[in-house]
Amino acid sequence: MKDKVGQEARPLSRRDFIKTSAAVSLAVLGSPASKMFAAGSDTIRVGLLGCGGRGTGAVQDCVNAAPGVELIAMGDLFKDRLDGSFEELKKKLGAKFKVARERCFVGFDCHQKVVACDVNMVILAGPPHFRPAHLKAAIEAGKHVFMEKPVGVDPAGIRSIIASSELAEKKGLAIVAGTQRRHQAHYVEIMKRIQNGDIGDIVAAQCYWNGSDMLGYWKWYERQPGMSDIHWQCRNWPWFTWLSGDHIVEQHVHNVDVVNWAIGANPVQCMGMGGRQVRTLGNIYDHFAVELEYPRGVRVSSMCRQINGCTDRVSERIAGTKGVAYTDSTTGYIEGAKAYKYDGPNPNPYVQEHTDLIAGIRAGKALNEGRRVAESTLAAIMGRMSAYTGRAMSWDWAMKASKLDLTPASYESGPAPDASVAVPGKTPLI
């Protein structure tokens, strides 16, 4: 299965998880941001932050999701990545490509320059570490947002995402996240039935992203003469924890998000383990196993692995008192007294998430998925932190008390964050 690859901290009280299928948190209908597209035919001008494979693909999904959408600005840390994306999108988008060279920006401050352009919406597809700062800039500038998952790499970043999401709600701005299963037809239908009680009370669940090593998908760049530590690590962002969150956060967040969705809550505590059996690049692990405990004593087994030559499994299984629900990227079904299998249409979820985003903006009902994806990301971060340190932890501690912030002292001059591999029992829990 091919998947997407792609700060200010303040204490926040926990909110009740909002059960939903494809849409959450409708914004105030009378807001200025909503009225901008009330006619349903006004052009939506998009800016792109992060011009790698995922950002380039997300723009195409966005402009194909609805009429009247065009790309007008682009930004990336690296000029060659921006130039390559520029030429590809120029060919593929045709008349919808309206990017002038003076609206192409390179460097760590490119997000400030893109949001300063005459854009209505920004696609955030840079490395996950930068998501909190990029979202903050976009929302403060009054822009709607599509942001890729995950939305942070540490608790400090998650608090920032939640604060920006609350500001977006006040402004009537949309935030839709790249957790595309929330917009995938068979997932939506299965979740409706779970929440309607078709499998009874949930008693346990399992979720998996056990797949191959990603070296063929995430290219490893050798360091060039004169390149700073930070620039070199940013070039290889999937392989460094401070940039990607490790693959349990960058990739497995999809499956954890499905479990949160099904149970209708966040985990109350977790304990995990993991390591590097075959991986030699960067400082991320190649396997994790985490037990997540949810309210009412519901325990969830969470596994993820990136090692070639092993059995793959990317799916979720939700067990209830009256049945069992199963979901993966292509199918969804329920076994039990109310057996069900989805056999309806399954539009491309990578496009559908943008269709839903744009429809909400134009209808004056801006979707805001920011808090939800932030909470799912934090659940995955907790699993990584537990595996790295060998320590169990509670949700309340991670959300309110953890001081972990992986931001470097300076992006331009460094030094780069510690790139040593975490050792359970020795790496401190911060």
Confidence of residue 414 (pLDDT cuts 50, 70, 90): confident
Q: Distance between CA 208 and CA 91 in Å, rounded?
A: 37
The per-residue pLDDT for 178 is: 98
**How confident is the model over 383-406, as a mean pLDDT?**
98
Task: Out of 127-136, 217-226, 348-357, pick the least confident.
Answer: 217-226
Tokens of 125: 């597809």
Domains and CATH numbers, the chain: 32-182+351-369 (3.40.50.720), 184-215+231-345+378-401 (3.30.360.10)
Residue 271 DSSP SS3:
strand
**Distance from C-alpha of 182 to C-alpha of 188, rounded to nearest angstrom:** 7
pLDDT at 34: 41
Residue 339 CA neighbour count, 13 Å, CB half: 2
Please write the tens of the pLDDT for every residue from 32-72: 444 444 334 489 999 999 999 999 999 999 999 999 999 99
47's CB contacts (< 8 A; 6+ apart) are 71, 72, 73, 74, 75, 114, 115, 117, 119, 121, 122, 123, 143
- Secondary element (H or E) of residue 112: helix 110-115
| Banded pLDDT at 412 (limits 50, 70, 90) | confident
Question: The pTM is what?
Answer: 0.91
CA distances from 101 to 60, 74, 75, 79, 98 (A): 19, 9, 11, 12, 10
Q: Would you tell me the crossing angle of helices 349-362 and 53-65 to the nearest 10 degrees?
A: 50
Residue 19 has pLDDT above 70, yes or no: no
- On whether the CB atoms of residues 337 and 346 are closer than 8 A, the answer is no
Question: Higher-confidence residue: 226 or 366?
Answer: 366
Q: Phi and psi for 150 in degrees, rounded to 5?
A: -70, 175
> CB–CB of 334/340 below 8 Å?
yes
What the block records as the tokens of 85 is 């994306």
Specify the pairing of strand 44-49 against strand 202-211. unpaired
Biggest CA pair distance of the chain = 65
* 216 confidence band (pLDDT: 50, 70, 90): confident
Distance CA 430, CA 423 (A): 14
So what's the pLDDT on residue 219?
87
Residue owning tokens 């490395």: 127
Task: Specify whether the CB–CB gap between 51 and 81 falls below 8 A.
Answer: yes
Mean pLDDT of 195-214: 97
CA distances from 269 to 205, 261, 378, 382, 385 (A): 15, 17, 11, 8, 12
Mean pLDDT value of segment 225-234: 93
